Amino acid sequence: MHHARSHSMSSKIAVVTGASRGLGKNTALKLAAQGVDVILTYHSNLAEAQALVAEITQAGRRAAALQLDVGLSATFDAFAAQVRHELSRQWQRENFDFLVNNAGIGIHAAFADTTEEQFDQLMNIQLKGPYFLTQKLLPLMADHGRIVNVSSGLTRFSLPGYSAYAAMKGGIEVLTRYMAKELGSRGIAVNVVAPGAIATDFGGGAVRDNAELNRFVASNTALGRAGQADDIGGAIAALFLDSNRWVNAQRIEISGGMFL
């Protein structure tokens, strides 16, 4: 039987969380351009997720979109079942190869003013979410697969207003090393990327829309401007190339050289 996409039977499959916008979307597009099929998740933005599936499909790869709230760990068993169903339906496979834990939000609040509710929301979405989502998806991951977690430049340098957010991101950097240690026996490599300030919707779009903040970022970045989503996705996707197979348990900053 002639099938236009029979070659994709052998392609790798990535799950990218929070891929309806921003860094996740750009990562999904760069993975697709690299020949990787994508199961992407969205939180509320179904239309954007569907548009991205269409764009990836147009480019000749397979893609699917699933709804996920990474802050609700009680839903992860059901989400894993959906991933399993989608793998079987679209790929006739029982597992996927790559995971990008990208979905997340930012909350800007001074240490003195941060509420327990804000702290808990950041913990659930930025730390507990990736921890248990990865745990629940592990049985669906192929041996010799790879995981990339997303941290932030704010774990290396400190800016007022990010104490809770950056503490969670610091947690995911430590977690990355532990994942690498324990999953190495299955040949799974785990790295963490730390983007600098990037002009996305993140944090109310502040880096993009607040001219003063944008100038502040640019003047503290060796390459002289704030980052764009398109500066990030390709760097994340490159960590899944076979040529990067020996890179493991590393924090890789993608910031154009912020606060050197």
Query: Minimum CB separation from ligand NAP for residue 38, in Å?
Result: 13
The residue number with the shortest CB distance to ligand NAP is 22
Query: Minimum CB separation from ligand NAP for residue 201, in Å?
Result: 4
Which residue type, as a one-letter code, is found at position 47? Answer: A
Active site residue 178: no
Nearest residue (CB) to ligand NAP, 8 versus 56: 56
Nearest residue (CB) to ligand NAP, 150 versus 190: 150
Query: Minimum CB separation from ligand NAP for residue 89, in Å?
Result: 22
Nearest residue (CB) to ligand NAP, 106 versus 171: 106
Q: What angle do CA 117, 69, 66 make, to 5 degrees?
A: 170
- The binding site for ligand NAP (CB under 6 A) comprises 18-24, 42-45, 48, 68-71, 102-106, 125, 150, 152, 195, 197-198, 200-202, 207
Q: Which of 42, 131, 165, 178 is catalytic?
A: 165
The catalytic residue positions are: 165
